[in-house]
Amino acid sequence: MSEQIILKDKTFELYIPEHQIIDAITTVAGNIVRDMKDLNPLFVGILNGAYMFVAELMSKLPPTYELTFAAYSSYRGTKSGGRVKELLPIPVENRDRPVILLEDVIDTGLTMQYVMGRLREEGANDVRLATLFFKPTSLRCGIKPDYVGIETGNDFIVGFGLDYDGYGRSLRSIYKIIEG
């Protein structure tokens, strides 16, 4: 893995190539189709980071599934602040139907714990979580994603929608930070 990039003041090296990401998303899509066979799920893409995951995943799902977006934030730079801010609430009625949240990465899990709790309070009859990347050793709450593309370590990663202060989102592969 010798390919490196520089974003702002940080250097990153290739970590997960695009083909591995696409394969993982294809597997997640198959599992969702199996589980949601006769249901009417609402998919909620979490902006900004999940946009590439959402686009790739939804292209592999039936066109009859409904999709919307919401935005929450707890990050600044390379660290999670631990406090969740709702930037764009879910604009679609979700009462009495299954909701599948589509997230780019689960690390502390605190943002998705908050969102999942809110959806249950609002009357969603089933709330599931699909994440492209999962950092299980960073988890600081009791949530467990229902669908995981790739488990990773605790490294700070960018690409495929994930960013460093807004940079690197458009990379098709994943790069991890080189601490130095």
Residues recorded for the chain: 180
Query: Token digits for 36?
Result: 């949601």
Distance CA 159, CA 170 (A): 6
Q: Which among 66, 64, 65, 85 has a CA at the least distance from the CA of 74?
A: 85
> How many other C-beta atoms can be found within 10 angstroms of the C-beta atom of residue 37?
8
* 38, 104, 107, 155: the active-site residue: 107
The distance of Cα 77 from the centroid of its chain, to the nearest Å, equals 17
How many Å is the Cα radius of gyration of the chain? Answer: 16
Supply the angle between the helices 18-35 and 51-58 in degrees, to the nearest 10: 60
Distance CA 47, CA 69 (A): 7
- Would you call 104 a catalytic residue per the annotation? no
Q: Scan for tokens 């299954």, then name that residue.
A: 98
Question: Alpha helices, DSSP H only, in the chain?
Answer: 18-35, 51-58, 110-121
Q: Which residues are catalytic?
A: 107
